[in-house]
Amino acid sequence: MALKSVLIDELRDLYSAENQLVKALPNLAKGSKNPKLKSIFTDHLAETKGQVERLKKVFAELGEKPTGQHCNGMEGVIEEGKDALEKDEEGSSFEAGLIGAALRTEHYEIAGYEASISMATALGMPKIVKLLNSTLKEEVSAAKKITAAGAPIMKLSAKEPEAPKQPKTGKEKYSAKKSKEDESHAAPELGTSTTVS
């Protein structure tokens, strides 16, 4: 059945994504100096460990093994989170960067679970839908908590003075070059010319 194998691929991707987050969330928790955010990241780490176990149950239901696919998307999202942790912003502006990174991880997962739930629903797999829905609820709630905790941080951050511009690191220079390429590749489709910087 074609859809079943697409579902299994999607779930293996999620299994890899959750495992990568088990490793990455402690860094966000350690990096954040805001007690509220710190506790959200720590609580979500415990939830994420449970989500790994829940996915194992889903695979047991399917009679398949959970490994077999590395989630490149989550690897990229986590990599961007590392950039936020390495930024030499201070105070609330640093925390604001972490919030952006954390929300990306949650919404990436939400997309994966929503797609998997649609597939499992279409395939008539109510047990699996129930398990996946429990995790989806946790992801949505984690994203809401991050956004809510973020609101006062953003307000404080908006009041902080702009830091003097630092010379770009090698990684930042490469990223800036790639972003120019992204823009110029899209330009013919958009019917625009590239910006000048």
- Residues in contact with Fe ion by CB under 5 A are 18, 48, 51, 109
Kindly state the smallest distance separating residue 18's Cβ from Fe ion, in Å.
Answer: 5
Question: Least distance to Fe ion from the beta carbon of 15, Å?
Answer: 10
Closer to Fe ion by Cβ: residue 94 or 149: 149
- Count of C-beta atoms within a 10 Å radius of residue 50: 14
Helix (H, G, I), strand (E, B) or coil at 123: coil
Asked if residue 85 lies in contact with residue 27, where contact means CB atoms within 8 angstroms, the answer is yes
Rounded CA separation 133/127 (Å): 10
Tokens of 56: 């194992």
- C-alpha neighbours within 13 Å on the C-beta side of residue 106: 23
Nearer to Fe ion, 49 or 87 (CB): 49
C-beta of 68: minimal distance to Fe ion in Å? 19
Nearest to 10 by CA among 74, 100, 53: 74
Quick one: 92 or 105, whose CB is closer to Fe ion? 105
Residue 27: CB minimum distance to Fe ion, A: 16
Residue 13 or 109 having the CB closest to Fe ion: 109
